Structure formats: structure tokens, C-alpha cells
């Protein structure tokens, strides 16, 4: 679960090409809720780069990559609680319903680790699916 705020850092690149794209930078808040094998929470934030393919106006696929930090409280035997790092990347798409409003779906691979600053540090790997909506301001 999360909320994000992004800004386009490039105008559309390669205007006449099929791979026409732009790049966004996104600040994203993160809240992770653990249920198995132990209950717990993790909260923090990430900075992401998103590559948007602008070939079509109504459907805009994208790729996302980024990193951040989370404060982990999962009480796991294989991963130490406290400050951990979150590295992630994935693919998704916007489906525009109007010029400034879109539904979005995305899959991301996420890895949480403390870089062996504290043991144990086996890491937590997850496939995460996001479904949401996005407002675009001009």
C-alpha cells in the first residue's frame, strides 16, 4: 500500500519513433503489512524512475526502478528488524479514461535487506501487485 507523487523530468523523447517515451521521478511512501509467518509492519519511502512508452495515448506501458528505506518490524528469525533497504523494479500500464485521469496496474519485484549491517540478513523477496488510479496535473 502506498501513495506517490511524481514529476516528469523529460519532455517526450524520440517524437516520431515507435519507442517515443518520457521519464518521471517519483517519491513514494511505503507501508507493508506482514501476516505470515509473523504479523508485522514496515514503513518508509523510495525514490523511483519511471520510463513511460508514449506510443499510444490511451494505454501507456511503463517500467519502474528505484530504491529506498523501510523501518521493519516483522519479528522474523531470518531478517533483523530496524532500518532496512528496499530495492525494486517492475512493469505496469496506465489506461487513460480522460486526458488527466488513468487507472493503473503494476507488478514489482521487491528486495528488502540491511546490507549485512546486522545479522541475520537473509533478505525478504516479494512480487507485489499494485492497482490504483493516477491524476495527472499539467
Q: What is the pLDDT of residue 132?
A: 94
Query: What is the 8-class DSSP label of residue 99?
Result: S
Domain extent listing, the chain: 2-135
Q: Which helix (H) or strand (E) holds 107?
A: strand 101-113
pTM of the model: 0.89
Task: Dihedral sign for Cα 113, 119, 120, 122, please.
Answer: positive
pLDDT band at 1 (very low <50, low <70, confident <90, very high): low
Q: How many residues does the chain have?
A: 138
pLDDT band at 3 (very low <50, low <70, confident <90, very high): confident
18-61: pLDDT as tens digits = 889 999 999 999 998 888 877 889 999 999 999 999 998 899 99
> Is 2-135 a CATH 3.40.640.10 domain?
no
pLDDT band at 82 (very low <50, low <70, confident <90, very high): confident
Amino acid at each position: 500500500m502506498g501513495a506517490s507523487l511524481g514529476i516528469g523530468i523529460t519532455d517526450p523523447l524520440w517524437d516520431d519513433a515507435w519507442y517515443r517515451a518520457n521519464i518521471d521521478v517519483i517519491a513514494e511512501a511505503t507501508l507493508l503489512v506482514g501476516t505470515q509467518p509473523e504479523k508485522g509492519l514496515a514503513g518508509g519511502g523510495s525514490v523511483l524512475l519511471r520510463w513511460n512508452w508514449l506510443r499510444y495515448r490511451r494505454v501507456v506501458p511503463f517500467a519502474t526502478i528505484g530504491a529506498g528505506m523501510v523501518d521493519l518490524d516483522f519479528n522474523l528469525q531470518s531478517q533483523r528488524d530496524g532500518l532496512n533497504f528496499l530495492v525494486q523494479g517492475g512493469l505496469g500500464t496506465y489506461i487513460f479514461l480522460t486526458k488527466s485521469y488513468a487507472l493503473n496496474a503494476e507488478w514489482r519485484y521487491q528486495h528488502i535487506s540491511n546490507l549485512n549491517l546486522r545479522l541475520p540478513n537473509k533478505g525478504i523477496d516479494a512480487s507485489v501487485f499494485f492497482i490504483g488510479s493516477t491524476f495527472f496535473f499539467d
